[in-house]
Each structure stands twice: as C-alpha cells, then as structure tokens.
Structure 1
Amino acid sequence: MGRTKVLLATIATTVLVSGCHVFEVACPAIAQASGLSVTVAASYAPAVKALHLKACQDGVCREGYLELVPGSISVDQGCEPYVPEPGVPKPGAPGQGDPGVPEPAVPGQGVPEPAVPGQGVPEPAVPDPAVPKSVVPEPAVPESGGRGPDRVCSATAAPDGTKRGMLMLDILTESPMLVTTSGTSIDGSPLPVRTLRFTPRSDYPFGEPCGRFVSASVVLDEAGLRQDRPAG
C-alpha cells in the first residue's frame, strides 16, 4: 500500500512538471539609446543657429553642442486599390454559384408547359440531372479606402519645420535630470539660457518580457524648455 501511494505521488508530480511550459516571447532587436533628445519647435527653429546642451543626472554631467538636423513626420500615402481576380463571380449573380438563390424557370428545361386543348396530354416532364455547381468563395473585399489583404501600403517622411538633436549619455536612469540649453541665434546674438528639471519616462513598448525602456526628451521653443510627452 505504501509503494502505491509513492507511485501515485510520483506520477502526479511528473504530470505537473510536464504540464508547465516556458513560452518564449519574440522581442525586436532594438537597443535602447542612452541619450537626451531635443526638439526645437517649428516656430523657434528659424531663430536657432547653434544649440548647446548640458544634462546632469545622478551627479554626472555631460554637455556639448548638438548636431541639429531637420525634423520630419510620417505621412500616410494610403494603399493600392483592391483589384479582384478575373473570373471570380460576384455574390448574388444567378447561375454563378450563389447558394440559396433560385434561378428563374425556363419552359422546356425541366418545367412542364401548360396543357393546350386539342393537343393531347403532354408527356411527363423529365427532370434535369442534378449537376452540382462549383461554389467559388468570394474573396474578402475591403471597404472603400480600407486596408485589405495583399494590398501594398506606403508612407513617406515630410519635413515638419523642426530641428532635432541628441546628447549621448553614459547611462540613462529614471532619476531626475537637470537640463540647461544655450547657444547662438541666426543673427549671432546669444540664445536665452533655459533650464528644466524633469524625470525621464519608463515604459514597456514591447511588453514586460522584452524589458523596460527609459527615454528622455525635451522641447525648446520661445517660452523655454518643457518635457516632450507622447500625444494622447
């Protein structure tokens, strides 16, 4: 009896262990950049010739002039129009594989004609042999302007009038950061010194199994510096 209990316990343990599966999650091969990104607003960008940035976090400071590049946004160019394959019947067309829609009766083709006096009794109608119709499934037709199967969609980058740059850091954490901007305007005069203290954001853009990403970005305009927050 004791051996039986030990055997049952062993089998139960084996079933529990074999029932546990480790599911791997595919994460994108995107490395996190340790840096502070700066966007000069479109209304202020024409006045900025050179921009100097200083960022301090956890007692460590980095500073330097940024390489400013024109900013851009993604513009959706839509999708190619859907073109159905030739020879595919449309739903609702009689005689083309639309189940449940009776075809109109044609005299002389399996339907007895009405009796005419003086012409005898008509022969019994011989039903036509049942020939199964090939039913071709109708492909999914997307709505007008929608995205359907096998449709090529594209987007392009369009300038948005901003200027963007990044100051690379040794490490980026969730600790508060102190940022100071200065520089030179187009007419050669110094830009106003702006200072901002903020906390970088952390998120799981690809799910918790793929790790947490920390990002730090600010926007500079005529009013000063502010933290760049995602829309919505």
Structure 2
Amino acid sequence: MLGLLNEAGFTLIADESEAEVLVVNTCCFIEDAKRESIEQILDVAKYKETGACKALIVTGCMAQRYKQEILDEMPEVDAVVGTTSYDKIVETVAEVLKENGIKVQNFETIDREHIENMPRILTTAGYFAYMKIAEGCDNKCTYCIIPSLRGKYRSRPMDQLISEAKRLAKDGVSELILVAQDTTLYGTDLSGDETLAKLLNELGQVEGIEWIRILYCYPENITDELIEEIKNNDKVCKYLDIPIQHAADPVLKRMARKS
C-alpha cells in the first residue's frame, strides 16, 4: 500500500499529525490485538480535529472481520479495506477525499491470488526484508479465525518469488525472511516440484542475498529434503522457527492440531 500511494504521488511523512491521509493496518487474532487496533484508530482519529487529517482508513484483519461494525460504531473512520484489497488503496483514498463524508468499502474475495510486481517501500532496515511466500491457511484449528480472514492456502509461484528476491537484492537487501501461515506447506497447492526445499535452493543462488531465515515451520511438514537443504545451503540460517501450541495431546485434539 505504501508503494502504491508513493507511486500515485502521495508524500509519506513520519509525523502522523501532519498527514492528510491516515491508514491504520489492524489485527484481531487475539483480544489484545483487537483492543490495540481499536485504541490506535481512536488515537489517530484525534488528528481530524487537531491535525491535518482529511481521511482515516482502516485495513487489515479487523477491517475484514468487523467492517460494518467499524463503519457503524466509529464515525471517525471514512473507509475500510479488506485483506486482499490492498491494491485498491489509492482509489479508496481518492474516493474518500472526493466524496467528503461518504463511507467507502473495498473488499475482494479472501481467496484472491497474490498480485505480483507491486511497488514496495521497505519499512525495515535496508539490509533485510520479509518476503511472503504464501497467503491463507488450510488448517482448521478450532481456536483460529485466520482461514476466514485470509482464505485458503495459496503459494506464490516460485519464479515470481525469485524475481522479487532479485529486485530486493538489487535494492540492497542481503537478508530474506520467509513468512507464511505455514512456510513448510509451500508448494503443496502448486503443480510440479515446487517445495520449500527447492525454493531455498533457488533463493540461495540469487546474487546479493547472503542470509535466508524461515519462520513458522510446522513440525508435521518438515521433511528430510528440507533438513538436507538447510544443512547444505550456506545461506540458510541453521535453525527452525516452530510454533509450539501445547504439550498435552487432549488439548491438541480439542485445538484440532496435528502436533
């Protein structure tokens, strides 16, 4: 969204009190995250009175789950944008500024495929970048709302990930951090031999990339092939980030977790 707004001619500034457009990206995975998101929205809404704000837009998971409640109960908010409608941010801003008081909604299907070759502005330190290798989740854990907010598991094609890695390397990124709801499932929904191990091998050949970290590896999908690639690929950090849910089998069963 930052990249699209910058490309459209908007100026990005650090002082939110001086911004004419404020976009709040929200989370609602747990109650504390939802509360923090609401507090952030209300906190920046004051700039409609004390600052330069002309448009307040809420996006992310809470916008996806509670779009109507946000519009009905938070009059300060001018627009809500769903989790797969990030490419609509420029037209949303334009519509809000033009309509002056008309509430705006932009929502696509949550199973929408990732849009490639989008402009990007890194908000991390310049030497590292997160790279999302898949979107959504097929696990039906009883406690989790992510599938209904992010859709089914959708791996990005490997050639597109390699192209993005090359662009990031050209911009000075030397460390890639791979993220998804479950990185070890990468490629299972694609045809051919696209697997996380193969992806690591290909990324390891990208000139300029020196470190590769893998987050969110679910233990049931860690294969011998993946372990061998991590062992043999000098660029891959030698550890696995694994989400441990519980130690008791009865609890795991109620959670609908495999391990």
TM-score by length of 1: 0.19
TM-score under structure 2 length normalisation? 0.18
**Higher RCO, 1 or 2 (CA under 8 Å, sep at least 6)?**
1
Answer with 1 or 2: which has the greater Rg: 1
- Greater helix proportion: 2
More strand by share: 1
